[in-house]
């Protein structure tokens, strides 16, 4: 196939490119060898890169990242079509039908005069009807980032009444879990200590949920802050012809506090 034989624009062009890449006789050897399992990690990576571009408000980058993510959908649809499971058109039809069914206040006669919170509850109720007799926690993907999955598990359980009624009780549980880690850190096996740390992180996610904070977003922001401040430490040390490896912890800690003070001063100066 040559570019002259491709559709000129639109989704049909992308679908034709994907089919050409997978052609067993003339396609790309790498693409021909791929499967759902080998492509799935790239799908997750592209979704994270979309989120990263949004966090950075890098709108030009976001356009490209959304294209990469769309290509993942096209890729899986091509694999499915080859195996006789479904086509890209089936994917489009399924999501269109789902959106219509889950928005009766837009595409039907249901009352539209509801808060966003009530519409979220209605959305979840519709999803529960679609799941039928499935268990409460069924359908929450195991491959989600762990903090995000913890939040979704807790939200789902809370909707059937399994939840602490106040943040105070979550904080009490957090203190209890932290105490267990502190008391057992020198006596537990590594596997048991890993379990205790997991319990502590799970309660942290629950505290974030009660405070209406996205724990995944909060941790991403903390990672970015750490990266920014540590880079400042390296910059200041480089001005002295040194690296972190040439410095003491006390020296780097002092520079960290300097970077922290800079951040606070900058935040105060913002309108």
For 156-180, what is each residue's pLDDT tens digit? Answer: 899 889 999 999 999 999 999 999 8
pLDDT of residue 95: 95
Q: Examine the domain organization and report whether 201 and 235 are in the same domain.
A: no
Q: Examine the domain organization and report whether 239 and 195 are in the same domain.
A: no
Q: Which of 213, 236, 254 is the last residue of a domain?
A: 213
Residue 26 lies in a domain: yes
CB-facing half-sphere around the CA of 169: CA atoms within 13 A: 5
- What are the tokens at 174? 């957090």
Residue linked to tokens 């009530």:
118
Q: Examine the domain organization and report whether 26 and 72 are in the same domain.
A: yes
pLDDT of residue 160: 86
Q: Which of 133, 140, 211, 128 is nearest to 170 (CA)?
A: 211
Distances (CA, A) of 133 to 88, 136, 163, 262: 29, 9, 22, 55
Domain hosting residue 37, numbered range = 3-100
Q: Examine the domain organization and report whether 141 and 224 are in the same domain.
A: no
Residue 133 pLDDT exceeds 60:
no
Which helix (H) or strand (E) covers residue 138, if one does?
none
Is residue 1 very low, low, confident or very high in pLDDT (cuts 50, 70, 90)?
low
* CATH code assigned at 175: 1.10.287.1080
* Average pLDDT for 43-64: 92
pLDDT digits (tens, 9 = 90+) for 138-153: 888 888 889 999 999 9
Residue 33 pLDDT exceeds 80:
yes
Is residue 42 very low, low, confident or very high in pLDDT (cuts 50, 70, 90)?
very high
Neighbours of 65 (CB within 10 A): 20
Residue 118 lies in a domain: no
Q: Examine the domain organization and report whether 184 and 242 are in the same domain.
A: no
Q: Convert 202-212 to b/e letters by CB count within 10 Å (16 or more is b).
A: bbbbbbbbbee
Determine the longest span between alpha carbons in the chain, in angstroms.
71
Lowest mean per-residue pLDDT among 24-38, 42-56, 100-114: 100-114
Q: Examine the domain organization and report whether 207 and 183 are in the same domain.
A: yes
pLDDT of residue 3: 78
pLDDT of residue 195: 92
Q: Which of 188, 213, 238 is the last residue of a domain?
A: 213
Residue 114 lies in a domain: no
**Hey, which bits of 24-160 come out as E strands?**
none
Residue linked to tokens 């913002």:
270
Q: Examine the domain organization and report whether 231 and 208 are in the same domain.
A: no
Q: Which of 55, 84, 100 is the last residue of a domain?
A: 100
- The count of structural domains within the chain is 3
pLDDT of residue 123: 74
- What are the tokens at 242? 């040194």
């Amino acid at each position: 196939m040559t570019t002259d034989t491709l559709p000129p624009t639109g989704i049909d062009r992308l679908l034709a490119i994907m089919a050409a890449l997978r052609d067993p006789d003339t396609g790309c050897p790498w693409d021909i060898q791929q499967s759902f399992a080998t492509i799935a990690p790239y799908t997750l990576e592209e979704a994270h890169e979309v989120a990263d571009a949004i966090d950075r408000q890098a709108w030009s980058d976001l356009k490209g990242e959304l294209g990469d993510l769309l290509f993942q959908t096209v890729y899986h649809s091509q694999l499915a079509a080859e195996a006789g499971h479904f086509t890209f058109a089936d994917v489009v039809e399924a999501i269109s039908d789902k959106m219509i069914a889950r928005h009766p206040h837009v595409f039907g006669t249901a009352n539209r005069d509801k808060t966003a919170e009530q519409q979220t509850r209605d959305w979840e109720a519709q999803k529960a009807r679609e799941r039928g007799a499935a268990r409460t926690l069924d359908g929450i993907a195991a491959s989600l980032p762990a903090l995000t999955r913890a939040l979704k598990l807790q939200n789902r359980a809370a909707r059937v009444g399994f939840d602490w009624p106040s943040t105070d009780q979550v904080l009490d549980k957090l203190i209890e879990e932290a105490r267990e880690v502190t008391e057992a850190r020198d006596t537990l096996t590594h596997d048991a200590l890993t379990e205790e740390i997991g319990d502590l992180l799970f309660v942290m996610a629950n505290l974030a949920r009660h405070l209406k904070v996205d724990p995944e977003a909060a941790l991403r922001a903390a990672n970015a802050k750490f990266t920014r401040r540590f880079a400042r430490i390296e910059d200041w040390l480089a001005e002295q012809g040194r690296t972190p490896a040439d410095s003491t912890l006390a020296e780097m800690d002092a520079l960290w506090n300097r970077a922290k003070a800079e951040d606070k001063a900058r935040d105060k100066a913002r309108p």
